Amino acid sequence: MASQPSLAPLPPAPVLLQGREMQLQTRQQAKHSVSDPKRTEKREMSWRPQYRSSKFRNVYGKVANREHCFDGIPITKNVHDNHFCAVNAKFLAIVTESAGGGSFLVIPLEQVRIWEIPDGGLKRNLTDAVLELYGHSRRVGLVEWHPTANNVLFSAGYDYKEDLSMPLIEEEIDGLSGLLFPFYDADTHMLYLAGKGDGNIRYYEISSEKPYLNYLMEFRSPAPQKGLGVMPKHGLDVSACEVFRFYKLVTLKGLIEPISMIVPRRSETYQEDIYPMTPGTEPALTPDEWLSGMNRDPILMSLKEGYKKTSKVVFKAPIREKKSVVVNGIDLLENVPPRTENELLRMFFRQQDEIRRLKEDLSQKDIRIRQLQLELKNLRNSPKNN
């Protein structure tokens, strides 16, 4: 097991983003107020980067080749402030454009195949959810799994608002008004800021001493991003010194573009200083233990030895009774009727192909039947049988 590099522990530093102004907070206040300029230290001309010595100083972003991107995706045009995607080591899920909303697409990451769905394949749309959760009085903006407890899901909605108006430091990012998405990497103490509607990703290193926030570099791209998904640590390519990976949603191109954040290293050996022990795939708590008030630190793993290890925990969905709507002996849920003229034409040509194939099969079977009849007749008329 690789030893854990000595990364200094940091105080909790939740991030509040208001427009394009970033504030690192240490506590919450119940009343909304504007930060007092006398109590808040602002760095003059803070848009100018201030560099310091860091092993992550030269981290750069690398866009995946075209063959590793996912194009032709009808990404949602919803203006809700969300990432519209989620990623794990095996799958990528994207919210897609549809009338009424609520549809999403799941793509396997390990392999990509192109196929035509056969007639005996998908026969119905997925309309019934496995579970339905209730509790919010307003719309839900974020859903996340508990980092240590098994099968515990958190959701955040617009029911209540909290104010964090005592920042450690303020940093003017730029003059744009779009929302900023923060992504914090606890292993490297790096903070990535991605603006909704632009293609740039800025990254900083957070420390426990002033000035707390240290600018590192900026990844630039002309293609604006709708949202970003993040690959878990155990899904990164450690042989390429990849410390973070985004999945960028480009609505204008219908494209999902992986962006790898890479620490440039000449050595091909495992780099322990940039890959400390990280939370693994095994839960540290059961749901009952967590609900009873028990807390445990996450079970750590080494990316050198265990990043490909699969989790033994399997979520078993409750079995639901299959529904059916039968009209004139036809199950409408199993055989969804065409809704547009194009769907009707595609179904017609598929049926014509199926009829042609069945006719060929029937013709071959008729020939085989005649052959067997002749063989049987020859057997009966043979001298041995007489």
DSSP letters of 8-47? PP-----EEEETTEEEEES--BSS--PPPTTTS-B-TTTT
d(CA 194, CA 77): 18
Residue 270, pLDDT > 90, answer no
Q: Say whether pLDDT at 252 is over 50.
A: yes
Q: Residue 43: what pLDDT?
A: 47
Q: Exposed, middle or buried, 197 (CB in 10 Å: 0-12/13-18/19+)?
A: exposed
H/E element, 144: strand 140-145
Residue 66 phi/psi, 5° resolution? -60, -35
Average pLDDT, the chain: 75
Q: Quick one: average pLDDT of 367-386?
A: 79
The answer, yes or no, to whether residue 199 has pLDDT greater than 80, is yes
pLDDT reading at 190 higher than 90: yes
Q: Is the pLDDT of residue 259 over 90?
A: yes
**How much is the pLDDT for 18?**
45
Single out the residue of 17, 27, 24, 54 nearest to residue 42, CA to CA.
Answer: 24
> 10-15 long-range contacts, Cβ below 8 Å, gap at least 24?
10/189, 10/206, 10/207, 10/208, 11/208, 13/168, 13/184, 13/206, 13/212, 14/164, 15/182, 15/184, 15/191
Peptide bond into 5 cis (omega under 30): no
Taking the domains of the chain in order of start, what are their residue ranges?
15-301, 338-386
How much is the pLDDT for 230?
Answer: 93
| Domain with residues 15-301, CATH architecture | 7 Propeller (2.130)
Asked if the model's pLDDT at residue 205 lies above 90, the reply is yes
Amino acid at 103: S
Residue 2 in this model has a pLDDT that exceeds 60: no
Residue pair 287/276 in contact (Cβ under 8 Å)? The answer is no
Please name the residue that has the structure tokens 């914090």: 184
Q: Which of 1-5, 136-140, 226-230 has the highest mean pLDDT?
A: 226-230
pTM beyond 0.75: the answer is no
Least confident of 49-58, 59-68, 237-246: 49-58
What is the rounded CA–CA span in Å between residue 96 and residue 94? 6
